Amino acid sequence: MTGGTKEKTTARRRGKPIEVWVTEEEKAVISEKAKEAGMSRSGYLRALGLNTSIRSVVDLKAVADLAKVNGDLGRVAGLLKLWLAEKHGEGVNAVNVESTMVEFRKLQRGVAEKMGFIVKAHR
């Protein structure tokens, strides 16, 4: 904007502020929790005061990381299956490879269950 006025910020003024007196330690804890939720302190405290659910950005990032690991497990299991089909157990007992592949699938299901639990808990 021109004419010496301040530029508009992306945050929207909601009205009247409420003062909350806290110690330095409490302010630090509130600031950290707001950061983990991807929110401003004001937004975080408003959500708590209005009993609105707060999602942790940290937990959702962990779910994204788990999804990548789950994909990697699937690719490894796929490569093992391809190896079994093409090499017919060359160099390693086919039963051992097959059991390893079954374990990968179990791990994948476990990771998917954990991801579902985390996401459901943060809705």
Q: pLDDT value at position 83?
A: 75
In this structure, the number of other CB atoms found within 10 A of the CB of residue 17 comes to 8
C-alpha Rg value of the chain to the nearest Å: 25
What is the tens place of the pLDDT at every residue in 23-79? Answer: 999 999 999 999 888 889 999 999 999 888 777 776 777 778 888 888 888 888 788
pTM of the model: 0.45
Within 8 A by CB and 6+ apart from 121, the residues are 59
Contacts 24+ apart (CB under 8 A), 117-120: 118/59, 118/60, 118/62, 118/63, 119/60, 119/63
Mean pLDDT across 4-10: 51
37-75 burial code (b ≥16 CB/10 A, e <16): bebeeebbbebeeeeeeebeeeeeeebeeeeeebeebee
* Look-up of token digits 């990771």: 111
CA distance 48 to 116: 24
